[in-house]
Structure 1
Amino acid sequence: MNADQILMEIREANLSYLMLAQSLIRADREQALFRLGISEETADLINVLSPAQMMKVASGNTLLCRMRVDDDMVWGLLTNHGKSAANDSVARLHASILMAGRHQEAA
């Protein structure tokens, strides 16, 4: 993959993220804040973006979204392969609880 392809992929990811974020915010604001890990102010800004503004913002060369999972324990819970389905469900629930707690700390 060359540099131009990478930039094109970043721009596509940015536009997809903004469209998804705007849709989530309009459908269920509180859930969107939690799922996206964004502040009220950021949600307000994304909510009022016009299509032209979204295209302009998305066209940058930096990803707008970021990995929220920056903890080895959470990654371990999310990628726990080879366990039973029941253990997988418990691990995912535990990871969700950990990430929810971090969202509350950030808010």
Structure 2
Amino acid sequence: MTTSHLLDDIRNVNLSYLLLVQRLLNEDRSSAMFRLKLNEQMADTLASLPISQLAKLANSNQLLCHFALGDPAQLASLTTQQREDDLKRTHAAILLAGSMHEEEEVVLKKGHHHGR
């Protein structure tokens, strides 16, 4: 695969991701914010971008989405054949909610520290 094709694939993924983000925000804002780990301001901004700006934003050589699981053990626990699909989804939601809560605490601590 050439670098040009790889960059095209990244741009396509970015645009698909941004369109999905907008659709999720329009269909169920609070659920989308939770799933995407977005705050109110970012959700407002992303939901209001016209397609021309989404395309411009997608035209990057960096992926705009990221892999939410940071711990290989979490990934392994979600991919074992012993769990049922519903249990996997619930487990993933719990893991991601924990990660989101930890990130919010870090942001709040940094904000509080800067406020002094």
Normalising by structure 2, report the TM-score.
Answer: 0.80
Moved more, 50-59 or 70-79: 70-79
Aligned partner letter, 2:91: H
- Percent identical residues: 39
Contact 2:14 2:64 in 1 (8 A): yes
Match of 1:63 in 2: 63
Contact 1:12 1:58 in 2 (8 A): yes
Counterpart residue number, 1:13: 13
Q: Secondary structure at the match of 2:32?
A: helix
List 4+ stretches of structure 1 deviating above 4 A: none
Q: Which secondary structure does the structure 2 equivalent of 1:21 belong to?
A: helix
1:11–1:58 Cα contact (<8 Å) kept? yes
Q: What's the counterpart of residue 48 of structure 1?
A: 48
- The TM-score with structure 1 as length reference comes to 0.86
- Structure 1, unpaired ranges of 5+: none
> Which deviates more, 38-47 or 54-63?
38-47
Distance 1:32 1:84 in 2: 25
Instruction: Give, in whole Å, the separation in 1 of the partners of 2:43 and 2:83.
Output: 38
Distance 1:29 1:22 in 2: 9
Identify unmatched segments of 5+ residues in structure 2.
105-116
SS in 2 for 1:65: coil
Across the two proteins, how many residue pairs are aligned to each other?
A: 104
